Amino acid sequence: MPLSARPGLDAVPAYRQGRSAPAGASKLSSNESPHPPLPSVVQVVQERVAGIHRYPDMSAAAVRQALAARYGVDVDEVTVGAGSVEIAAQLIHAVAGAGDEVVFAWRSFEAYPSLVRIAGATPVPVPLDAQHGHDLDAMLAAITPRTRLVFVCNPNNPTGTVVDADALERFVAAVPRDVLVVIDEAYVHFDRTASRGAGIELFRRHPHVAVLHTFSKAYGLAGLRIGYAIAPREIAEAQRKVAVPFGVTDLAQAAALASLAAEEELAIRIDEVVAQRERLYAVLTAAGWPAVPSQANFVWVPSGERTAELDALLHAGGVVARAFPGEGIRISSGSAADIDRVEAALAAAVSGGDAAHDSDRDSDLMGVSA
C-alpha cells in the first residue's frame, strides 16, 4: 500500500504569506512595522548572537516573569510561542480535537480554519455583520455542545473593526463556561477606542477567557517570532504540553525583554503608524474606494468584484497589498512614503497625464506594464 498523508489534510488550505515586493516598491501586504528595530533592541540581539550554539530557555522564564509583572497576573498564567500563530495553535490543541468544534468570525485571521483542521477539529466560521465586524449574536447561536473554543479577533484581521468592551462583556458572559473564549489582540496597540485592551480585564473577571498578544506588530519583531497568551492556569499548563519544544529562540526572548523595557520609545512609533493608517483611510475614501474605518495597522477595502481592478492599480503604482479575490484588499499602514505611493497610484487612475507617467515609472519596479 503506497504512503499517504493523514486523512483530512487535503481540506487544510496552505497559509499564504503576504506577497513579497521588488526593491523600491512598497510592501504593504503583511502588516509589518515600517520601522526597523530600535537600536537598543538590535544591540541586545547582537550581544546574544555569540551564544546561539546553546539551546534557549524552553520556559522563557524571564519573558514570562516580565509579562506577569506588567499585567499583574501569575507567571503560570503566561505562555509563549513562536508568534501569535503558534500561540493560537497551542490554545486549539489544548482544548479541541476530533469531533470538537471551534467557532470564529469570517472573514478573520486566515490561519484559524487551517489550525483548527490540523488539530482534527471542525472549524465553524460565522459571517461578519454588515459593518464588517463580529456578529456576536450569530456566533453565540453557532455554539453547540461540541464547541470547545471561540476566537474573537479584536481588532479583527483583515477588516480592522473592533468589538466594544460592553458588547464583548455580554458575549463572554453568555458563552458556556466549558467553552474557552480566546480574545486575539494581536493589533491591540493600534486601537484608539475606549475598548482598547478589554481582553485582560475580561480574563480577570471570567474563568474561561484567554488573551493572545504578539511582539510581531507594534514591537516590530515579526522576523524573530514571539507571541504570548494569558490564560487560565489549567489551559496554560496544557499549552506548555503541546508547544513546540524550544520554539522561541534566545534571540527572540532577549529582543522581547528589550522591547518591553523600551515601550515609551515604541509608543512614538506606534502613534506614527496610526497616523499613517488614518491618512491611508482618507486617501482611499477620497479616491472613491469603500474603505472601512480601522483600529489596526491596516485598512480594509471591501472592493468585491472590483478587487482585481484595485489590486492591479496598486501593483502598477509600485504597491503590493493583500488581495482576497472577490472580497477585498487589505493594505498595511506603512511609512509616509508608502502612503504617498498609494495616493499616487490611485490618482493615476483618474487624472492621467503626469500621474499616469509616474505610474508607468513605478510599474517598472514591479516588473509589469501599467
Q: Which of 160, 113, 168, 111 is nearest to 133 (CA)?
A: 160
Class of domain 39-260: alpha beta
Helix (H, G, I), strand (E, B) or coil at 34: coil
pLDDT tens-digit map of 273-295: 999 999 999 999 999 999 999 99
Residues 27, 257, 40, 224, Cα dihedral to 10°: -30
Q: Which of 225, 126, 134 is nearest to 183 (CA)?
A: 134
Record the pTM.
Answer: 0.91
Tell me the CA end-to-end span of the chain in Å, nearest whole number: 52
Element (H, E) at 329: strand 328-332
- What is the pLDDT confidence band of residue 56, given thresholds at 50, 70 and 90? very high
pLDDT tens-digit map of 246-255: 999 999 999 9
Residues 130, 133, 136, 141, Cα dihedral to 10°: 60
Name the residue with higher pLDDT: 367 or 48. Answer: 48
- What is the pLDDT confidence band of residue 4, given thresholds at 50, 70 and 90? confident
Per CATH, domain 18-33+264-366 is 1.10.260.40: no
Phi-psi category of 184—alpha, beta or left, where left has phi over 0 and alpha has psi -120 to 50? beta
- Residue 34 predicted with pLDDT over 80: yes
CB atoms within 10 A of CB 250: 18
d(CA 12, CA 114): 5
pLDDT tens-digit map of 78-104: 999 999 999 999 999 999 999 999 999
Q: Can you read off the three cell numbers belonging to residue 207? A: 474563568
d(CA 186, CA 10): 29
**Percentage of the residues of the chain whose pLDDT score is greater than 70:** 92
Query: Which residue's entry shows cell 526572548?
Result: 253
pLDDT tens-digit map of 310-362: 999 999 999 999 999 999 999 999 999 999 999 999 998 776 544 444 444 44
pLDDT for position 20:
65
pLDDT for position 19:
63
- Residue 365 predicted with pLDDT over 80: no
Name the residue with higher pLDDT: 15 or 252. Answer: 252
Q: What is the mean pLDDT of the chain?
A: 92
Each domain of the chain, given as residue ranges in start order, spans 18-33+264-366, 39-260
The full length of the chain comes to: 370
- Residue 204 predicted with pLDDT over 70: yes
d(CA 230, CA 369): 49
Judge whether 18-33+264-366 and 39-260 match in fold: no
- Residue 369 predicted with pLDDT over 50: no
Stretch 197-211: mean pLDDT: 96
